Amino acid sequence: MRISTKTIYENATSQLNSLQSQMARTQNQLATNKRVLTAADDPIASARALEVTQSQSLNTQYGTNRANANSSLSLVESAISNGADLVMDVQTLVVQAGNGTLSKSDRLQIATEIEGRMQDLLGIANTADGSGGYLFSGYKGTTMPFVQTDSGANYQGDQGQRKLQVGSSRSIAISDSGSSIFENNRTGNGSYQTKMVDGNTGSAVAGSGSVSDATKLTGHNYTLEFKVDGDKTTYTVTDNSTSPKTAVLSDEPYVAGKQIAFDGTSFTITGAPANGDKFEVKPSEKESIFTTMTNLVNALRDSGEDSGSLATLANKLSTASEGLKSSLDNMLTVRASVGSRMKELDYLEDQGSDLDIQYKGTLSKLQDLDIVKAISDYATQQTTLEAAQKSFKTMSGLSLFNYIG
């Protein structure tokens, strides 16, 4: 068969181009340490690698969100911790204010100090989040949560909790509303409160009491009124929520410190009540810590030196002490909730790290190059190309004129 010179050149050129392309591809694989350079190299592996890469990118973003969430929760936890310390300081001052040997001037100093603590607490409640907003304003991030008033402070935020997606199936609250932290405080013992009625002139002081039988609690409002006739002191408890009002206890002899119990409630009253002195017994309500502290300051500033005024102060200090305890308990509960979320973020971060390792391993199996095999292939291709070039040179040099003498 006769082969033309043109055919020889075309075939040789095509083969040389093909070998050079193979070498160039292998060289690129070695340079990038990637087996799959284009989807054409391995369509199935390329498609799977794209899915894994997208999942890996999402996991990376979740990691960023977890870091941001942890930063926000750290600010919340620090603010609540500082607030709890302030409340404990005020509790100490309340105990100090109850010392009967203090003068009016001493109590005014304590009132001023408590007022300063309230300003500090208000500053904590209005803590900024570092990005132009406030920690405790709910969804109203740019609205200052609390504005001071004559009776305490008004909350201007809402009840929302801002959340971040920190996992494929988990979003976590990164804030708590100021209302839930500073206004969600139960008066009295949490179930009911025993409170002196303004205008009492005796020295009777009521304790917070306890629930003797939760099944008997009615949620009604009661009035306990004392009657003093000579050396005999009695009291009557009236249920104000019934129509007509009904007497629950009538003309019971009063003994200072002896337990008074009715409709599931149980408490004591100490001191010497005056005729007509009254106490209210009603269900606990929510009260802002700022209202509690404002009432406490006013009670100290309005206190007198006579026995009746001191008894009134003692009752108000007892009420304030209950409110402060409830507030502290609530803050610690919220702080525990924040801590549990931060702990969950730690677990999610560990899971995210494990997932990232799995994604990298999967991508390595799909895309990474077998270096030893690639080097061997490159050496073989190089040898083949060199041989092809030499053979082409030899063939292209053949000519009939070389044999004509």
Residue in 204, 190, 326 with CA at minimum distance from that of residue 260: 204
Q: How far is CA 229 from CA 206, 225, 226, 341, in A?
A: 21, 13, 10, 61
User: For residue 140, what are its two tokens?
Assistant: 């109203």
Residue 38 pLDDT: 67
Q: Name the least confident of 20-24, 95-99, 135-139, 254-258.
A: 20-24
Q: Which of 91-105, 172-186, 321-335, 363-377 has the lowest mean pLDDT?
A: 363-377
Query: CA angle, 152 as apex, 148 and 155 as ends, to 5°?
Result: 65
Residue 32 pLDDT > 80, yes or no? no
Alpha-carbon span 85 to 336, nearest angstrom: 15
pLDDT of residue 330: 94
Beta strands in 288-334 (DSSP E): none
According to the model, what pLDDT value does residue 359 have?
Answer: 84
CB 200 within 8 A of CB 245: no
Residue 91 has pLDDT above 80, yes or no: yes
pLDDT tens for residues 336-347?
999 999 999 999
Q: How confident is the model at residue 4 (pLDDT cuts 50, 70, 90)?
A: low
pLDDT value at 1 more than 60: no
Residue 37's pLDDT band (cuts 50, 70, 90): low
Task: Work out the average pLDDT over 277-292.
Answer: 94
Span 259-278, pLDDT tens digits: 999 999 999 999 999 999 99
Q: How far apart, in whole angstroms, are the C-alpha atoms of residue 135 and residue 132?
A: 10
DSSP 41: T
The answer, yes or no, to whether residue 36 has pLDDT greater than 90, is no
- pLDDT band of residue 39 (cuts 50, 70, 90) is low
Confidence of residue 405 (pLDDT cuts 50, 70, 90): low
Average pLDDT over residues 101-127: 94
Mean pLDDT, the chain, integer = 87
| Separation between Cα atoms, residue 270 and residue 262, nearest integer Å | 18
Kindly report which listed range (9-23, 70-84, 158-172, 283-297) carries the lowest average pLDDT score: 9-23
Q: What is residue 329's predicted lDDT score, i.e. its pLDDT?
A: 94
Of 57-66, 133-142, 193-202, 396-405, least confident by mean pLDDT is 396-405
Q: What was the pLDDT predicted at 270? A: 92
Query: Where is average pLDDT lowest: 114-118, 217-221, 359-363, 384-388?
Result: 384-388
Strand, helix or coil at 94? helix
pTM (predicted TM-score): 0.78
Residue 338 has what pLDDT?
95
Highest-confidence segment of 33-42, 80-89, 309-318: 80-89
| Overall residue count recorded for the chain in this entry | 405
Distance CA 40, CA 16 (A): 22
Q: Chain centroid to CA 248: how far?
A: 46
* CA–CA dist 315, 194 (Å, integer): 10
Q: Which of 295, 257, 259 is nearest to 273 (CA)?
A: 257
